Amino acid sequence: MASGANSFDYSSLKELLKDTNAEVLLPGDGEVYEKSIERWSEHCIKRAAAVVRVTCADDVSATLAQIRKHNIPFTVRGGGHSTSGAASIKDGIVIDLSKMRKVTVDPEAKTIKAEGGTIWEDVDVEAAKYSLATVGGTVNHTGVGGLTLGGGYGYLTGKYGLTIDNLLSVDIVLVSGDQVLASSTSHADLFWAVRGAGQNFGVVTAFTFQGYEQKNPIFAGPLIFLPDKIPQIVAFANKFHKTNDGNQALLWGFSAPPPANAPVVLTQLFHNGTEEEGKAFFADLFELGPVANMTAMIPYAQLNSLLNQNAGFDGRKQFGGGAFKLPLNPDFVIQLHAEFNAFVASHERMNESMMLFETIPYKKIIEVPNEKTAFANRGDYYNVATMFKWFDPSLDSEIRNFSRDLLKKASETATSRSKDSGVGQYGNYATADVEADEIFGANVKRLEELKHKYDPDNLFSHGTRLTPRPLVVVN
């Protein structure tokens, strides 16, 4: 695919796409270009040869036509939140969806349609006008597209499942330029694939979700503890595993955030109900004596902004992921904290890094078998993640290796998951060196066959892991 990239005159795109509504930005276009290549992680900023800001599906089709004709490498930017670099490219084209942020709510059908460039704040705010919500991310400046196509966990997962379990259809532009609707009744095989592996098959220009009536306000917020409370926090997480009814979520982990820059244990509480109910459910944590209590009754639309301060746009960042099972041994968690804290403390300006145990109820998730969607991480376990933040590029490899080793150790608890359980690797947290079968498990063969059907020349290859595999029919 890249053979024609060096000889192509990218400035000609302005003429080639003049009959569209797309905006073509080139490296010589000053601040507007520089702004267009910014990403959540500075680690992922790459100088694209051109950025095409599309406004509709027709713009995407026209851009893909030029990409096919001139054999140009490309990638797609939704929210720009990926730490694997999938939303950036050097010396190729970025199809930038950031101008496509319209959200349309049908209050009678309780559906929410979000264009491909929306972020979760757009969805949460618009849906709230109709007292609706759907399963979205826990950081609201995350792109709807990236989170959804990779599966999607959120505060409402305990009640409604994954984001993809509430996805009714996608409007998608295929590599051919064809614009199709994929749903359970139209292009059903493609709809199966996009729910977990969508980046491999086309450019999704709109997502339609099932919405649900959402009571307001809800009880949520952080409690912050000193590390000596780890045994009691682990004990509560073990209890939470047995006592939640799907209307709660608990995120907890380690960091050393400003201004004190001292090690603490962060907990993020959510109860889809009243303050009285929430405080009763999380009473064990409140009784521990947190050093900070920022819980409150808040509008649901604000919920997904609570972690934003821990996920700012400065610095280099890397996500990594694994799985853990409850109950956990407190001594094991103390050991993980000691290793994490020692590493962070030994490097300058790394204190905002986090290790997070996402105790989001999985009962609704595992009601859907792993083979029913491309997403293969449904199981009797929870996600554990690291988010390292640093500023010195020379540390990139060291951090990647440490994160991988720490997560491997944390994931030892999940080796006993049931035999029909998922892979134990959330694709949206996977680093670039994680292989396709580690993310998609037994689904990888069908995905590669569908890749051959919908993208046989593997044009959607940047930041993806699937390669086309022709279907072999044995007579």
Share of the chain above pLDDT 70, in %: 94
**CATH number of the structural domain spanning residue 415:** 3.40.462.20
**Residue 330 CB neighbours (<10 A):** 16
Model confidence pLDDT, tens digit, residues 321-365: 999 999 999 999 999 999 999 999 999 999 999 999 999 999 999
What is the model's pLDDT at position 39? 76
Cβ neighbours of residue 114 under 8 Å, at least 6 residues apart? 102, 103, 122, 123, 144, 206, 207, 208, 209
User: Based on the structure, what is the number of domains in the chain?
Assistant: 3
Q: For residue 139, give its domain range.
A: 103-213
Model confidence pLDDT, tens digit, residues 34-80: 999 887 777 777 899 999 999 999 999 999 999 999 999 999 998 87
Amino acid code (one letter) for 170: V
Domain termination residue (choose one: 181, 213, 245):
213
* Poorest-pLDDT segment among 55-59, 223-227, 318-322: 318-322
Residue 435 within a domain: no
Coil, strand or helix: which one is 440? helix
Same domain, yes or no: 335 and 351: yes
Coil, strand or helix: which one is 248? strand
Residue 462 within a domain: no
Average pLDDT score over residue span 424-445: 92
What is the model's pLDDT at position 475? 32
Structure confidence at residue 473 as a pLDDT band (50, 70, 90): very low
Residue 474 within a domain: no
Same domain, yes or no: 374 and 409: yes
Model confidence pLDDT, tens digit, residues 249-307: 999 999 998 888 899 999 999 999 999 999 999 999 999 999 999 999 999 999 988 87
Are 397 and 323 within 8 A, CB to CB? no
Dihedral Cα 22, 176, 74, 436, nearest 10 deg: 140
Domain termination residue (choose one: 213, 235, 255):
213
Same domain, yes or no: 78 and 188: no
Amino acid code (one letter) for 320: G
Residue 208 within a domain: yes
Structure confidence at residue 169 as a pLDDT band (50, 70, 90): very high
Same domain, yes or no: 35 and 114: no
Residue 408 within a domain: yes
Same domain, yes or no: 375 and 260: yes
Same domain, yes or no: 349 and 420: yes
Choice between 17 and 257, residue whose per-residue pLDDT is larger: 17
**CATH number of the structural domain spanning residue 69:** 3.30.43.10
Model confidence pLDDT, tens digit, residues 361-393: 999 999 999 999 999 999 999 999 999 999 999
Same domain, yes or no: 328 and 377: yes
Amino acid code (one letter) for 247: N
Pairing of strands 264-271, 248-255: antiparallel
Indicate whether 308 pLDDT > 70. Answer: no
Residue 448 within a domain: no
CA pair distance 188, 182, nearest whole angstrom = 6
User: Is 474 buried (19+), middle (13-18) or exposed (0-12) by CB count in 10 A?
Assistant: exposed
Domain termination residue (choose one: 429, 448, 465):
429
Residue 113 within a domain: yes
Structure confidence at residue 162 as a pLDDT band (50, 70, 90): very high
Report in angstroms the alpha-carbon separations of 26 from 41, 72, 230, 294, 456. 21, 15, 51, 45, 30
What is the model's pLDDT at position 3? 44
Same domain, yes or no: 130 and 201: yes
- What is 379-432 written as a DSSP string? SSSEEEEEEEEES-GGGHHHHHHHHHHHHHHHGGGGTTS-TTS--S--GGG--T
**CATH number of the structural domain spanning residue 167:** 3.30.465.10
Same domain, yes or no: 39 and 119: no
Indicate whether 467 pLDDT > 80. Answer: no
Residue 468 within a domain: no
What are the φ and ψ backbone dihedral angles of 234, each rounded to 5 degrees? Answer: -65, -40
Choice between 6 and 456, residue whose per-residue pLDDT is larger: 456
Are 88 and 48 within 8 A, CB to CB? yes
Same domain, yes or no: 58 and 176: no
Chain-wide mean pLDDT for the chain?
93
Report in angstroms the alpha-carbon separations of 446 from 165, 452, 466. 19, 10, 11
Same domain, yes or no: 201 and 259: no
Share of the chain above pLDDT 90, in %: 81
**Residue 2 CB neighbours (<10 A):** 12
Same domain, yes or no: 108 and 140: yes
What is the chain's Cα-based Rg? 22
Amino acid code (one letter) for 76: V
What is the model's pLDDT at position 441? 95
